[in-house]
Structure 1
Amino acid sequence: MGRRSIHTQEELRELIIAATTSIIDEAGIDGLSAREIAKHIGYSPGTLYNMFENLDDLLLIIEARLLDDLRQQLIEAAQNAPAHERLPRLAATYFEFTQNHPKRWSLLIEHRIPGNHPVPDWYEDKISSLLQPFEDVLDPILDADTSPETRRQHARTIWAGIHGLTSLSTANKLATITNHSGQVLIDDLVMTYLAGLQRSTSHGVSTAPQKEKR
């Protein structure tokens, strides 16, 4: 039976988020339920639905905070670094962060909102914000006349490669296709892409990605 609240609404909300995050870090999302969360905080399961619309709403907030933490670490990783080291540092930070939070990262990859409920705009903004640090570190590498769209496309391509490899690594699926570690593959990806950009720039070749064929 739930106890009478001794917390403010904001305190209770943060208590629920912290308890849910702890459960996920320990056991993943399998078996996660309102009842399990309520048991951890000492309140009734119904208390959760006074604070959040549903369990998906709660999970999205945890994912958003994970993305905020990652973005901040990416920004800090590139600060005061020489231009040629910024992208490798971003990639290494991205990989290390996901390895330090494997179950929360798996939540980010695996969580699907059921039915026809759209993902909130603010959540999509969090995902998009991860691209900005990658765009920023490409500025000193690309030609000065490189268009913003070309820079964004390069950032998307690099991010997608790093994101895919980190996700395979946290899911323990890399071993089925290679003996190399995720960090080695990411280093290879980044250095190869950088070499291609620098070669194209030095030879006066356009660095714009090819347009999609229709």
Structure 2
Amino acid sequence: MGSAERKQRQKAQLREQILAAARDIVVREGFRGLSMRKLADAVEYAPATLYLHFQNRDEIAQELCAGGFQELWSFLEPAASVADPLERLRVAAERYVRFGVSHPETYSFIFLEDPKITSAVLRGTPKEGGERSFHLLIGAFQELHTQGRLAPGADPQRLAEVLWAGLHGVVSLELTCSDFLQTPAEVLSASMLQSLLTGMLLPGSDARAARTPGS
């Protein structure tokens, strides 16, 4: 390996080390606890070294958030291969809630910590994980519309927004005040999806794919 390749590899390794240390800080203290000086102490480099890899603290925070959205998409991606759009929605909803409950730190810092960071990532280019996750839901509702299975006037985009808002609400409640919930998060999300589809599907459309777990 030549010296140029070795330097490039070392640079990439240090960048990943910085991001890993930043993630540890954010998990413990939130984005408010992340600073370049604290991060420099964690990786045992001078603060000036960090600026060779990242412009500022916000760039690091946004990269962490973007990585979290990519993790979310990786968790949801198996649902994209489900042929029937109703079953696809059920699987996506189930996996979304499972991701949030089983990865609470990641879910918290991409959705609950700093709305400015989350908005910057979702509006940025490339959008990747967040956009793919949302379009998974939109695509399923669009297919239902194309197949003539949605009630007249039903808007696939709006239905996807309603579903994501509901799923986010279930996960947020589970993470922040689970003692108040009498029903498991997975069952709540399935019941919510069932209610949404019951109101939006035309009579005769098969809603059984959105069944509540255990039913």
Same fold (TM over 0.5): yes
CA distance in 1, matches of 2:64, 2:48: 19
TM-score (norm 2): 0.73
Determine whether 1:131 maps to 2:134. yes
Alignment of 1:18-33 (within 5 A): 18-25=20-27, 27-29=28-30, 31-33=33-35
Q: Please tell me whether the aligned partners of residues 26 and 33 of structure 2 are also in contact (alpha carbons under 8 angstroms).
A: no
Corresponding residue of 1:104 = 106
> Which residue of 38, 43, 46 corresponds with 1:44?
46
CA distance in 2, matches of 1:152, 1:184: 24
Gaps of 5+ in 1: 204-214
1:51 is displaced (CA, Å) by 1.8
Q: Percent identity?
A: 25
Q: Deviations over 1:41-63 (max 9, x none)?
A: 22123322332222121111111
CA distance in 1, matches of 2:48, 2:126: 29
Corresponding residue of 2:191 = 188
Alignment of 1:67-86 (within 5 A): 67-80=69-82, 82-86=84-88
- Amino acid in the other structure paired with 2:183: H
Q: Please tell me whether the aligned partners of residues 34 and 57 of structure 2 are also in contact (alpha carbons under 8 angstroms).
A: no
State the SS of the aligned residue for 2:124. helix
Q: Give 1 or 2: higher helix fraction.
A: 2
Q: Deviations over 1:128-176 (max 9, x none)?
A: 43210002222443353679x9211111111111122212322x22434
- Amino acid in the other structure paired with 2:44: G
- Amino acid in the other structure paired with 1:175: D
CA distance in 2, matches of 1:202, 1:6: 60
TM-score (norm 1): 0.73
Task: Report the count of equivalent residues.
Answer: 192
RMSD: 3.2
> Which residue of 167, 174, 177 corresponds with 2:172?
167
State the SS of the aligned residue for 2:144. coil
Deviation larger for 66-75 or 27-36: 27-36
State the SS of the aligned residue for 1:51. coil
Q: Please tell me whether the aligned partners of residues 28 and 103 of structure 1 are also in contact (alpha carbons under 8 angstroms).
A: no
Corresponding residue of 2:162 = 157
Deviation larger for 81-90 or 54-63: 81-90
Q: Please tell me whether the aligned partners of residues 92 and 183 of structure 1 are also in contact (alpha carbons under 8 angstroms).
A: yes
State the SS of the aligned residue for 1:130. helix
Deviation larger for 125-134 or 159-168: 125-134
Gaps of 5+ in 2: 1-6, 206-215
Determine whether 1:55 maps to 2:57. yes
1:194 is displaced (CA, Å) by 1.9
